[in-house]
Amino acid sequence: MALNRIIKENFSIILRCLQPSNELLGRLRSVPFVQDRIRSIKQEKTIDDKNDAILSALLEVPDDFQESAMNRFIEDLRFSGQDHVANVFHQGTGKVPMSDEHYRLLNSTLHEVCHFLEPRDGLIDYLLGIGVFTRSDSDTVHSNLSLKDMARETIKILQRK
């Protein structure tokens, strides 16, 4: 299946789940037709804006290069711990993005979950230890000063997983 067709058919799930980490963006420097846009992608303010810029660049890959660009993108996703996103393009593991139903449930109960979530009680270390969180995810959560912000950031990261 062509890269642009997969992106168009799964745009919202990819947009929601892709994590434009420095690791991923660094690896994307070797993907033709994306490499020249990394600087502008990094300058986007929000994760969704960065993801939209990445996907827009991939949608502009000429037909002759789509398969090689997609294979490289999948490899970069897997290397950066985003098998669940890579599997949208090509099933390789059992990891899948969070369902829309679970995403909406978590979003609708965000206030309550944040009220009871205590990221400093070892949860982040546990998630890091079992491979759900990356070191970057952990650092992002711990960079927040308030407990409420730490909890909210933990949920935001989980929603992308």
Report pTM.
0.81
- CA–CA distance, 120 with 102 (Å, rounded to integer): 24
CATH fold of 3-89, please?
Death Domain, Fas (1.10.533)
Tell me the DSSP string of the chain.
Answer: --HHHHHHHTHHHHHHH----HHHHHHGGGSTTTGGGHHHHHT-SSHHHHHHHHHHHHHTS-GGGHHHHHHHHHHHHHHTT-HHHHHHHS--SS--PPPHHHHHHHHHTHHHHHHH--GGGTHHHHHHHTTSS-HHHHHHHHT-SSHHHHHHHHHHHHHH-
**Domain residue spans in the chain?**
3-89, 100-160
Q: Using alpha carbons only, how large is the chain's radius of gyration in Å?
A: 16
> What's the pLDDT tens digit per position in 2-39?
888 999 999 999 999 999 999 999 999 988 888 899 99
Given a cut of 70, is residue 1 above it in pLDDT? Answer: no
